[in-house]
Amino acid sequence: MSRKGVFGLTSQIKDKLIQQALERRLRNAEDATGTRFMPLSGGASGSHQPDIPEQFYRFHLHPGYQQIRIINDGAARLGITSPFFKQHDGTASGTTRIGGKALINYGSYNYLGFSGDSIVTAAAKAAIDRYGTSVSASRIVSGERPIHREFERALADVYGVDDAITFVSGHATNVTTIGYLFGPKDLILHDSLIHNCTLQGAQLSGAKRLSFAHNDWAALDGILTEQRRNFERVLIVIEGIYSMDGDFPDLPKFIEIKRKHRAFLMVDEAHSFGVMGKNGLGIREHFSLAGTDVDIWMGTLSKVLAGCGGYIAGETALVEHLKFMAPGFLYSVGMPPPVAAASLAALQCLRKQPERVATLQARGKYFLKQAQFAGIDTGSSSGFAVVPAITGSSLRAAKLSHALFERGISVQPILYPAVPEKSARLRFFMSYQHTEEQIDETIRVLADEMSKI
Ligand SMILES: Cc1ncc(COP(=O)(O)O)c(C=O)c1O
């Protein structure tokens, strides 16, 4: 990030903004309640520990909260409406409605339109009628329903592996799987652009964590040649399609390296399952690999599978182990039946309708080609499902998102710290429902606004 930081604010202005924001909040609270609050710098009257600094016992002084206030207040001062927490009126797919306004939508990873699909919706409703809305217990104790196993068997079949296990959150799937399986004598090696859930899992595990340059299997090979013998287990984690950049790894090379160094390979297919491969069966199908070539297949239900949660697919010894021991499974409620039913139905629809996948792939490539033709920086995107338009600063990304919204296009800005400040961007999630006309219109408006801002 530049010395001036987010939205180009200096540290004095930041401090002043924080102070003003906090005072404004207190004043509003006083107006609303008729109560006079202690001044922000006020003492700790009645306390037996008067020397404990205020930032250790007041939430508004937490550094994370202050950072949020800087961004939000800075944006408000610059006249930018917040791009966050926009409320969609209904299903969000290729199009959506926000506050009654119809928009072409690039903000949702409903790539194949299964969320909102009548077959998927009917399956969820039927599951509610039969099983209720919650299984009301962890699966191991008394929360298991036939739909859970039916869905997991279907996932294992898709990957050509022994079995699969589903978790109630995609993010928690990686946190608990990595966090449980690895420990302080182990090494976790991950791509430098890996998703936060892998980082959190690695942190929880206590293993040593190292990153290698994005998609650089040769760099990974180098680290392992040097360091493999210092550790017991080694886990390599990569993604099928990278969620911010829309590119993908040379998976056969990573498999070669993990075999050479006797390491485990985990592939997070959050954005590649349903998207890559002729039938949408993911990066495995794209490269014509066997399911057993990868040790841990991970995916989320929140993208193509129209649900909420995550899965791990692999050999029996992995899945059974996680079912009995992974805290995020063992000590957490089983997946709600309508979610399992919706994702199973989406998986079955995917297998019957590969034409949706072909259309999504064609639209993604078309978007990428048109954007590049218009001179837009799309980074290393392969045009599968995620195409960034790199804007060069958070401020420019936020302004462009707002300008496009005003012109009927919904796309989220990705700001620092989610990506480095100079690679702030608009991130376009493609849908098989986008038409070429909608894409042409989007590129025309984007290029026009980029030339102005
Ligand atoms: C690569 C990757 N893995 C895991 C997750 C977490 O999945 P979920 O949002 O379903 O919890 C995401 C979220 O988008 C992701 O992009």
Last residue of a domain, one of 328, 352, 376: 352
Same domain, 320 and 377: no
- The pLDDT of residue 2 is 39
Task: Verify that 193 and 144 share a domain, yes or no.
Answer: yes
Q: Give residue 306's pLDDT.
A: 98
- Which atom of ligand 1 lies closest to the CA of 242? 1
pLDDT of residue 74: 80
How many angstroms does the Cα of residue 243 sit away from the middle of ligand 1?
8
Closest ligand 1 atom, CA of 308?
10
pLDDT of residue 45: 61
- Tell me which residues of the chain have a pLDDT lower than 70: 1-45
pLDDT in tens, 265-319: 999 999 999 999 999 999 999 999 999 999 999 999 999 999 999 999 999 999 9
174 and 272 share one domain: yes
Catalytically active residues, by annotation = 243, 271, 303
- Token pair of 57, please? 């016992």
Q: Which residue has the tokens 């919204």?
A: 405
Residue range of the domain that includes 265: 118-352
DSSP letters for 188-245: EEEETT--HHHHHHHHHHT-EEEEESTT-HHHHHHHHHHHGGG-S-EEEEEESS-TTT
Are 390 and 303 within one domain? no
Cβ(166) – ligand 1 distance below 6 Å: no
The tokens of 164 are what? 């699969």
Same-domain check for residues 305 and 440: no
Report yes or no on 444 lying in a domain. Answer: yes
* pLDDT score for 276: 98
Quick check: pTM over 0.75?
yes
Q: Which of 253, 284, 255, 250 is nearest to 269 (CA)?
A: 284
Question: Do 174 and 230 fall within a single domain?
Answer: yes
The length of the chain, given as a count of residues: 453
- Based on the domain organization, do 291 and 320 belong to the same domain? yes
Measure the CA–CA gap between 169 and 184, rounded to whole angstroms.
25
In the reported structure, the alpha carbon of residue 385 is separated from the centroid of ligand 1 by a whole-number distance in angstroms of 14
Of 203, 202, 269, 206, nearest in space to 236 by CA = 202
For a pocket test of ligand 1, which of 300, 311, 332, 343 has the largest count of ligand atoms closer than 8 A to its C-beta? 300
Q: Which residue has the tokens 């890559």?
A: 276
